[in-house]
């Protein structure tokens, strides 16, 4: 802050009270900190605390203190106590002086609640470049109880006229001017009227307000000042849009609504933003003779919010926000999003660590995904694996047959995770096309994927897979696998093939002929168990043949299978 | 440098003082009424006096002292000014009247008063008040004679000081009014010329009006009787702002709520700046298309307010009020309502203030304004006006049955101009007036200010209104007597 050289910056002149000077210097430093730092910054908090402490020390000697203001100085008892010679935005005396304030008095108690408001007003007025706020107006809005000030009414240019009458603002000690916020107390005229006084005129009780009437007034005021006014304004704008066919008027309203939407989004007013978008759609569909350009402008509002660039900013802001469930505002706005919002939403959903936001995004993505399969399918092929996986999961959830082609393509992916997600989604979809695509998974290089597919086919009783299963068994593709895989394939084969499956399983369990290859005991035991699960007469007959087998594993498996797998 | 009267974190203490103070005033009023209606030994009187003693004790427990003081239109309990609102205005007015008529400015309770002592005080206050030469000294003498030592009384504040204060308040009100009219003119003309009006100026004007209304509403309300024909467009907005803020205060709105209401009221007709002036001033019947253009001003106002410069936040409340102030309760007014909405209380207040000021003003198509009392009666009795009846009722309690500026004929055949409503809510039909001519029609120089609630030695009212009259017929400019 530029200061004069004589006297030295902030230095008390002869006669200046050092305590007062020091307090004012601390206050000036706090004003700067308030300007520079955000409330969560330790510097900000420290500055506020030091200003409070300085004021408290002042109250050890004074009950109140008054400062005079010149263009470059704050004075106390006519002695300069803070001198800043530059008449720029940085000079504290000038900030007061230019808005007409000529003195201010602070009183004990100012430091508790009003200091922050005072600093906030100074910040607002200093931050604006050629703006339309002034300190007198802002101080009035602060409704101080422990600060009063004198000021000269500013002229047309915003500057106080020299020598103008001094007015007083702020609370006067001991006066109660208005209720505190926390108080609750809170045809043609005369056509048939005679000019003569009537008896009823003298019955004042006619005009006494009943208790319930007073309660109604108080309640209405509370509702008026407690609610959000924006929806009412939006409703009025759109009523006007519908009722007034003049294109100039509609043009003006379109512009207002576009700006309003941005304001709502930047102010995190999501419910109202959602209402605006929804009602714009209703207005364009109901209103008569709407120009295509107007219809398009209003329709584009939802597109604008859904635009990835816009939506990503919003989602980033929400990620850092402390959200508390439920969030009807956000949900309301998200229900208005267009299909192009799906990608940023999914992309954010898979990375979000904000549990409340995740829950809201989950709902929004489900809604959009079920209504916009084309966009969802496109996401399956996304380069971003996390997005692709989420899209596959969603495709399965919504059982969209349209997803079969991209999912089928994903079966060729290098990533096992992607292939696993694809088979899971295909199994969930379960359409003939999906199952046909799923069959390919039986030959996947990953054992878990093969297992999942064979189980899914059995579960869904998908018989067309029998030929592929039989081939897999005959070609001994399975036999080299784990016992779990063998069991799964044999079980599925038996379950889908019925008695038709007995010959192949019997040939594995009880090889015929001297040259016939005898399978490993575990493979034969798996065949026995599959026959046992089939449980038909033919299957039992095949099992009986193995009851006397030399291999104890096979014999034991056949015995258990005969008893139903016990 | 002086010590202040408030110290520490005293907000809660002040609220307590106000609460107990209000309870005390209500208890005094109840006891006075009971004494008037029943003999002293009656159960109702005893109960009321018991309640009064308890209320006094509670007030003393908050401040360790108890002094009731009346000054101007206000009551102070232990230096705290009590706020008048709808739930207590009747009691306030009666107690003010009780003190005033007895010439008593303050009563200090020096020790805990018994119900018997309170009975003596209230009875003697009423008796002394009805005595022509009764004053605080007389009351003190009679209290002493009755053996009542619990109270010390002092005289009403110096009349000259009060007159000076009243004149100063009037001067401040005139300045506020003139500045507000100039500001409104500037805003409307700015919009007409396609410029963006300054929000700061609007804020300052309304802040000043709110300050004035909170300090001394009577002076500003008196100024609304000016109703200059040439300046109607501008004075109307200022008048509506004054009426709305005063009504909001009476309803119990906070200072910042009054501020928002005031901005909305001042700007309620801003849409007219987008309607051709010749149409607004047309004195003959309007064609359909012209009527359509006039009735566009509410929504035009809302659109215009989106342009207001320098707002940290858009003036949504003002937009709603501009849009709704011609809507009737059943939505048969204008503009057309398509989406479900609830008319805001602020809009209802402005609608009442607007209707009243418009009907009582001289305009291009209304060369003869309607008498204020007839307008209030119509607003009260005709549901087709679509005004909220409770708000209208509250408005009547604010202005009185015969509002400021009404010319009345008294039963003495004198002509009088109403200055303002009586502070005693039971005397709404007996306003403060200035008698401008004697019973034979001779103009009085100077005119005589009097309170129609005052009684003669016989206990009868000295003067009573028998009818209202047309000021033009008598060549009287009512504002000359008020301002």
pLDDT (tens digit, 9 = 90+) per residue, B50-75?
999 999 988 887 667 788 888 777 78
> Side-chain half-sphere of B296: how many Cα atoms within 13 Å?
22
Residue B133 has pLDDT above 80, yes or no: no
Q: Dihedral through CA B209, CA B175, CA B420, CA B34, nearest 10? A: 50
With vertex at residue B90, the alpha carbon angle to CA B85 and CA B96, rounded to the nearest 5 degrees, is: 95
Q: A108 and B215 in contact by Cβ < 8 A?
A: no
How high is the mean pLDDT of chain A? 82
Which pLDDT score, from 0 to 100, does residue A141 have? 87
Buried b (16+ CB within 10 A) or exposed e, B378-412: bbbeeeebbbbebbbbbbbbbbbbbbbbbbbbbee
* Contact residues on chain A for B362, CB-CB shorter than 8 A: none
Nearest by Cα to A253 from A235, A227, A269, A265: A235
Non-local (6+) Cβ contacts of A558 within 8 A are: A509, A528, A532, A543, A544, A546, A547, A549
User: A133 to chain B nearest CA, in Å?
Assistant: 6
Based on the number of CB atoms within 10 Å of its own CB, is A335 exposed (0-12), middle (13-18) or buried (19 or more)?
middle
Question: What is the spatial distance between Cα A338 and Cα A460, in angstroms, rounded to a whole number?
Answer: 36
Which pLDDT score, from 0 to 100, does residue A152 have? 84
Helix (H, G, I), strand (E, B) or coil at B459: coil
What percent of chain B is modeled with pLDDT above 70? 91
Residue B291, token pair as written in the block: 């009527």
pLDDT in tens, A346-362: 999 988 888 888 888 88
Whether a cis peptide bond, with omega within 30° of 0, leads into A7 is: yes
Question: What is the spatial distance between Cα B201 and Cα B210, in angstroms, rounded to a whole number?
Answer: 14
Question: What is the spatial distance between Cα A242 and Cα A221, in angstroms, rounded to a whole number?
Answer: 30
Q: A236 and B428 in contact by Cβ < 8 A?
A: no
Residue B230 has pLDDT above 80, yes or no: no
Give yes or no for a contact between B219 and B225, defined as CB atoms under 8 angstroms apart.
no
* Contact residues on chain B for A252, CB-CB shorter than 8 A: 303
Residue B113, token pair as written in the block: 């008063």
Sheet holding A64-69, edge to edge: A79-83, A73-76, A64-69, A101-107, A147-152, A166-170
Distance of CA A275 to the CA centre of its chain: 16
Which residue in the set B5, B22, B260 is minimally distant from A173, CB to CB?
Answer: B5
User: A259 to chain B nearest CA, in Å?
Assistant: 10
Query: What's the whole-number mean pLDDT along residues B175-202?
Result: 86
Give yes or no for a contact between B259 and B360, defined as CB atoms under 8 angstroms apart.
no
Q: Which of A207-211, A235-239, A287-291 has the lowest mean pLDDT?
A: A207-211
| Highest mean pLDDT of the ranges A172-186, A485-499, A552-566 | A485-499
Q: CB of A108 within 8 Å of any CB in chain B?
A: yes
In B421-460, the residues whose Cβ lies within 8 Å of chain A are 425-429
pLDDT in tens, B95-130: 888 888 888 888 998 888 889 999 999 998 888 777
Give yes or no for a contact between B334 and B326, defined as CB atoms under 8 angstroms apart.
yes
pLDDT in tens, A190-217: 555 556 666 555 555 556 788 899 999 9
Q: CB of B319 within 8 Å of any CB in chain A?
A: yes
DSSP B366: B
Residue A89 has pLDDT above 80, yes or no: no
Residue B437 has pLDDT above 60, yes or no: yes
Count CB pairs under 8 A between chains A and B: 245
Which residue in the set A154, A236, A279 is minimally distant from B299, CB to CB?
Answer: A236
Q: CB of B323 within 8 Å of any CB in chain A?
A: yes
Nearest by Cα to A114 from A68, A156, A149: A149
* Contact residues on chain A for B331, CB-CB shorter than 8 A: none
**Look-up of token digits 């002292």:** B65
- pLDDT confidence of A181, banded at 50, 70, 90? very low
ipTM of the complex model: 0.78
* Contact residues on chain A for B318, CB-CB shorter than 8 A: none
Which pLDDT score, from 0 to 100, does residue A4 have? 36
> Among the residues of A461-520, which ranges form H helices?
466-474, 483-497, 502-509
pLDDT in tens, B357-367: 999 887 776 77
- pLDDT confidence of A182, banded at 50, 70, 90? very low
Question: What is the spatial distance between Cα A239 and Cα A257, in angstroms, rounded to a whole number?
Answer: 13
Which pLDDT score, from 0 to 100, does residue A428 have? 92
Question: What is the spatial distance between Cα A157 and Cα B301, in angstroms, rounded to a whole number?
Answer: 26
Question: What is the spatial distance between Cα A11 and Cα B443, in angstroms, rounded to a whole number?
Answer: 69
* Contact residues on chain A for B80, CB-CB shorter than 8 A: 174, 176
- pLDDT confidence of A156, banded at 50, 70, 90? very low
Residue B29, token pair as written in the block: 């009023």
What percent of chain A is modeled with pLDDT above 90? 28
Residue A446, token pair as written in the block: 């990953």
Q: A174 and B5 in contact by Cβ < 8 A?
A: yes
Query: What's the whole-number mean pLDDT along residues B389-408?
Result: 89
Give yes or no for a contact between B118 and B49, defined as CB atoms under 8 angstroms apart.
yes
What percent of chain B is modeled with pLDDT above 90? 30
Chain B residue with the nearest C-alpha to that of A216: B390
User: B214 to chain A nearest CA, in Å?
Assistant: 6
Number of neighbouring beta carbons within 10 Å of residue B442: 9
Which pLDDT score, from 0 to 100, does residue A3 have? 36
Question: What is the spatial distance between Cα B12 and Cα A117, in angstroms, rounded to a whole number?
Answer: 19
Cα-trace Rg, chain B: 24
pLDDT in tens, B239-294: 999 999 999 998 889 999 999 999 999 999 999 999 998 888 888 888 889 999 99
In B166-225, the residues whose Cβ lies within 8 Å of chain A are 179, 198-200, 203-204, 207, 211, 214-215
Question: What is the spatial distance between Cα B239 and Cα B247, in angstroms, rounded to a whole number?
Answer: 12
Q: A176 and B199 in contact by Cβ < 8 A?
A: no
Q: Which whole-number Å values give the CA distances from A313 to A109, A323, A338, A345, B258, in the listed order?
A: 42, 16, 16, 11, 38
pLDDT in tens, B419-428: 888 877 778 8
């Amino acid at each position: 802050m530029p200061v004069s050289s004589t006297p030295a910056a902030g230095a008390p002149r002869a006669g200046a009270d050092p305590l007062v000077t020091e307090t004012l210097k601390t206050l000036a430093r706090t004003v700067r900190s308030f300007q520079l730092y955000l409330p969560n910054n330790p510097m900000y908090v420290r500055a506020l605390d030091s200003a409070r402490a300085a004021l408290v020390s002042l109250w050890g000697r004074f009950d109140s203190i008054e400062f005079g203001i010149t263009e470059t100085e704050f004075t106390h008892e006519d002695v300069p106590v803070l001198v800043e010679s530059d008449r720029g935005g940085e000079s504290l005396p000038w900030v007061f002086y230019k808005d007409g304030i000529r003195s201010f008095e602070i009183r004990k108690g100012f430091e508790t609640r009003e200091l922050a408001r005072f600093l906030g007003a100074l910040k607002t007025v200093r931050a604006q470049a050629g703006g339309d706020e002034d300190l007198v107006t802002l101080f009035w809005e602060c409704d101080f109880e422990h600060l009063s000030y004198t000021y000269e009414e500013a002229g047309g240019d915003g500057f106080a006229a020299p020598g103008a009458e001094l007015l007083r603002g702020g609370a006067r000690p001991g006066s109660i001017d208005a209720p505190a916020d926390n108080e609750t107390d809170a045809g043609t005229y005369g056509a048939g009227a005679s000019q003569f006084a009537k008896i009823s005129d003298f019955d004042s009780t006619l005009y006494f307000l009943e208790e319930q009437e007073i309660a109604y007034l108080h309640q209405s005021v509370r509702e008026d000042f407690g609610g959000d006014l924006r929806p009412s304004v939006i409703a009025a704008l759109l009523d006007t849009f519908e009722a007034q066919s003049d294109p100039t008027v509609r043009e003006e309203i379109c512009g207002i609504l576009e700006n309003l939407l941005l304001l709502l989004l930047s102010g995190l007013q999501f419910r109202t933003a959602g209402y605006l978008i929804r009602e714009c759609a209703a207005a364009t569909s109901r209103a008569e003779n709407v120009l295509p350009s107007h219809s398009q402008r209003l329709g584009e509002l939802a597109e604008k919010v859904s635009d990835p660039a816009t939506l990503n900013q919003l989602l980033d802001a929400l990620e850092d926000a402390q959200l508390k469930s439920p969030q009807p505002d956000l949900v309301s706005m998200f229900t208005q999003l267009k299909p192009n919002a799906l990608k940023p939403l999914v992309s954010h959903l898979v990375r979000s660590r904000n549990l409340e936001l995740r829950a809201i995004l989950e709902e929004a993505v489900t809604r959009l995904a079920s209504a916009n399969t084309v966009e969802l399918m496109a996401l399956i092929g996304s380069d971003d694996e996390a997005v692709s996986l989420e899209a596959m999961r969603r495709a399965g959830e919504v059982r969209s047959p349209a997803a079969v082609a991209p999912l089928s393509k994903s079966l060729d992916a290098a990533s096992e995770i992607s292939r696993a997600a694809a088979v899971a989604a295909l199994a969930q979809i379960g359409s003939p096309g999906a199952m046909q695509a799923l069959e390919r998974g039986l030959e996947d290089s990953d054992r878990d994927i093969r297992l999942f597919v064979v189980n899914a086919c059995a579960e869904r009783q998908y018989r067309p897979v029998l030929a592929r299963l039989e081939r897999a068994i005959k070609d001994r593709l399975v036999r080299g696998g784990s016992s779990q895989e063998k069991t799964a394939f044999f079980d599925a084969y038996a379950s889908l093939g019925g008695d038709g499956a007995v010959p192949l399983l019997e040939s594995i369990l009880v090889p015929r002929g001297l040259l016939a290859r005898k399978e490993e005991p575990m493979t034969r035991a798996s065949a026995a168990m599959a026959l046992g699960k089939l449980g038909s007469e033919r299957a039992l007959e095949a099992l009986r043949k193995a009851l006397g087998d030399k291999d104890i594993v096979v014999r034991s498996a056949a015995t258990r299978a005969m008893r139903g797998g016990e | 440098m002086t010590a202040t009267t408030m110290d520490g974190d005293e907000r809660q203490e002040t609220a307590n003082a106000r609460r107990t103070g209000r309870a005390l005033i209500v208890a005094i009023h109840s006891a006075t009424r009971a004494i008037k209606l029943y003999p002293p030994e009656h159960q109702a009187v005893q109960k009321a006096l018991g309640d009064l003693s308890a209320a006094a004790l509670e007030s003393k427990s908050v401040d360790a002292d108890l002094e009731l003081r009346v000054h101007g239109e206000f009551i102070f309990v232990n230096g705290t000014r009590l706020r008048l609102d709808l739930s207590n205005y009747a009691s306030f007015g009666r107690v003010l009247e009780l003190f005033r008529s007895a010439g008593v400015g303050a009563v200090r309770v020096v020790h805990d008063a018994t119900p018997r002592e309170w009975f003596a005080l209230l009875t003697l206050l009423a008796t002394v008040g009805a005595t022509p030469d009764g004053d605080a000294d007389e009351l003190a003498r009679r209290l002493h004679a009755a053996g009542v030592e619990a109270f010390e009384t002092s005289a009403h504040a110096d009349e000259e000081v009060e007159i000076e204060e009243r004149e100063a308040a009037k001067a401040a009100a005139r300045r506020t009014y003139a500045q507000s009219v100039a500001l409104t003119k500037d805003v409307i003309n700015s919009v007409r010329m396609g410029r963006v009006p300054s929000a700061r100026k609007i804020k300052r004007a309304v802040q000043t009006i709110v300050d004035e209304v909170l300090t001394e509403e009577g002076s500003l309300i008196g100024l609304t009787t000016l109703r200059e024909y040439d300046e109607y467009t501008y004075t109307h907005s200022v008048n509506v702002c004054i009426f709305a803020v005063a009504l909001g205060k009476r309803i119990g709105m906070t200072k910042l709520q009054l501020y928002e209401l005031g901005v909305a009221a001042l700007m309620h007709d801003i849409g007219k700046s987008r309607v051709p002036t010749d149409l607004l001033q047309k004195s003959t019947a309007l064609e359909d298309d012209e009527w359509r253009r006039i009735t566009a001003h509410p929504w035009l106002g809302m659109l215009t307010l989106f342009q207001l410069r320098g707002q940290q936040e858009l003036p949504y409340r003002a937009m709603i009020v501009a849009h709704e102030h011609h809507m009737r309760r059943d939505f048969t007014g204008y503009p057309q309502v398509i989406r479900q909405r609830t008319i805001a209380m602020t809009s209802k207040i402005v609608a009442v203030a607007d209707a009243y000021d418009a009907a009582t003003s001289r305009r291009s198509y209304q060369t003869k304004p309607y008498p204020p009392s007839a307008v209030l009666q119509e607003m009260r009795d005709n549901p087709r006006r679509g005004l909220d009846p409770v708000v209208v009722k509250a408005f009547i309690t604010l202005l009185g049955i015969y509002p400021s500026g009404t010319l009345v004929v008294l039963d003495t055949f004198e002509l009088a101009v109403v200055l303002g409503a009586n502070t005693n809510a039971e005397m709404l039909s007996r306003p403060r007036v200035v008698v401008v001519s004697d019973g034979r029609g001779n103009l009085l120089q100077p005119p005589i200010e009097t309170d129609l609630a005052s009684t003669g030695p016989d206990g009868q009212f000295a003067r009573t209104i028998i009818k209202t009259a047309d000021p033009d017929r008598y060549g009287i400019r009512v504002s000359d007597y008020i301002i």
